[in-house]
Amino acid sequence: MGKTERTVTLAKSRLTWMAEEFGLPRIIIAGLLLLLFILTPVVGVDLPTQITNIINRFSWNAVLVLAMVPMIHSGCGLNFGLPLAIICGLLGGTLSIELGFTGPLSFVMAALIATPFAVLLGGGYGLLLNRIKGGEMMIATYVGFSVMSFFCMMWLLLPYSSPTMVYGLSGNGLRPTISLDGFYNQVLAGFLHIKIGNIEIPTGSLLVFALLAFLMWAFLHTKTGTAMTAVGSNATFARAAGINVNRVRMLSVIMSTWLGAMGILMYQQGFGFIQLYNAPNNLTLPTVSAILIGGASVNKASIPHVIIGTILFQGIVTMTPTVMNSAIHMDMSEVIRIIVSQGIILYALTRKTEGAK
């Protein structure tokens, strides 16, 4: 009796250990996605199309999710200020078109132009976050909002004149949605594009993500990268070890901002449109919940978290509408997506973490 009981408790503790290790939300979401995959042929939805969609959307969003990593590592928490980074990317994209670049060159120029903005705005943002340690997330949220609404005015007032971007009638003020046909629409996705049966793979986009993710991984293993992790896990200890905490945090914020700017350019080249005004806000919470679904926490994140999280989140986003629609003729996907993604963020925030201040 005693022995079986012990085995049961042992099995139970192992189960809970596994749940802890792998993360309860990750298990639930992975289970949900698996269920959707199993349901796909049953309800008569084309599986290859779904897989193509997931890979595509992964290639749009992965870099944005990667942008979360540096700030989580340095203890700045989840980057709810993503709109700031996105604005840098938008400036790069619109200026590149305004200056008359077309085709693949316009993408390169957009990335080049976005970089100084990301360094400048990211630097200011980092300076601010260094003065309010402990309250980063709430302030990041509202810094993002403020910058976004400030640029809402700027998109109307800045002297853009390219006829592809401004309102046709009045001739000034950028349109909310700008088509990228003839500019950098699909420039990366079309590079080395592979088609196997019905499954299409945007190789170029995935390669660029792989390159950035590798650079991120390599950076985290350099001296500065290790210092960043040290600052994130224990700032007092890091200071005692002679690390300039503020400088490391600032660097992480600039990296996050730059990656976010690149991320939105990647998103645009896949999606085919530049979205201005209040659009940056729509990407923040999905991006944050994607990395959390991947198994990251408020103060711990890695490259696998980014990859797993983006696949799981985008899988849910693409699969639920089609599968649910054909299964029960009721499109509840939007509501389910809100509940799942916000629930994940809440779970991460309410969990007792060692690094919590």
Partner 1 sequence: MNEKKNIPAGKRLSELVRNNTVPIMFIIICAVFIPMAGFSPSYLLNEIVTRMGRNLFLVLCLLFPIMAGMGLNFAMTLGAMGAEIAVILVADWQIWGIPGVVLAMILSIPFSALLGFICGTLQNMAKGREMITSYIINFFINGWYQLIVLYVMGSIIPILHSSIMLPRGYGIRNTVSLLNMRQCLDDLLAIRVAGVKIPVFTFILVALLCLFIVWFRRTKLGQDMRAVGQDLEVAKAAGINVDRTRIISVVMSTVCAGFGMVIYLQNIGNLPTYSGHSQIGMFCIAALLVGGASVEKAGIGNAFLGVILFHLMFIVAPGAGKFITGDSMVGEYFRVFLSYGVITVALIMYEAKKRMVKSKAGRELAEAQVKKEDA
The residues binding partner 1 (CB under 8 A) are 80, 128, 131-135, 137-139, 141-143, 145-146, 149-150, 152-153, 156-157, 173, 285, 330, 332, 334-335, 338-339, 342-343, 345-346, 349-350, 352, 356-357
Cα–Cα distances (Å) from 136 to 235, 267, 292, 302, 342, in that order, read 15, 26, 17, 20, 19
- What is residue 296's three-state secondary structure? coil
Q: Of the two residues 147 and 255, which places its CB atom closer to partner 1 in the complex? A: 147
| Beta carbon of residue 52, minimum distance to partner 1 (angstroms, whole number) | 28
Among all chains, which residue has been given the structure tokens 């700032």? Answer: 235
Q: Of the two residues 225 and 280, which places its CB atom closer to partner 1 in the complex? A: 280
Q: Of the two residues 17 and 150, which places its CB atom closer to partner 1 in the complex? A: 150
Q: Two tokens at 299?
A: 């103060």
| Beta carbon of residue 254, minimum distance to partner 1 (angstroms, whole number) | 19
What is the C-alpha to C-alpha distance for residues 4 and 25, in angstroms, rounded to an integer? 30
Residue 179 backbone dihedrals phi, psi, to 5 degrees? -75, 140
The 8-class DSSP code of residue 79 comes to -
| Beta carbon of residue 74, minimum distance to partner 1 (angstroms, whole number) | 17
What is the C-alpha to C-alpha distance for residues 289 and 25, in angstroms, rounded to an integer? 11
Q: Of the two residues 247 and 337, which places its CB atom closer to partner 1 in the complex? A: 337
| Beta carbon of residue 282, minimum distance to partner 1 (angstroms, whole number) | 12
Q: Of the two residues 173 and 321, which places its CB atom closer to partner 1 in the complex? A: 173
| Beta carbon of residue 313, minimum distance to partner 1 (angstroms, whole number) | 15
Helix/strand number for the chain, H first, E second: 14, 4
Task: Note whether 253 and 126 are within 8 A (CB).
Answer: yes
| Beta carbon of residue 235, minimum distance to partner 1 (angstroms, whole number) | 13
Q: For residue 17, how far is the Cα from the chain centroid?
A: 28
Q: Of the two residues 149 and 229, which places its CB atom closer to partner 1 in the complex? A: 149
What is the C-alpha to C-alpha distance for residues 215 and 258, in angstroms, rounded to an integer? 13
Q: Of the two residues 158 and 199, which places its CB atom closer to partner 1 in the complex? A: 158
| Beta carbon of residue 343, minimum distance to partner 1 (angstroms, whole number) | 6
Residue 126 one-letter amino acid: G
The 8-class DSSP code of residue 274 comes to E
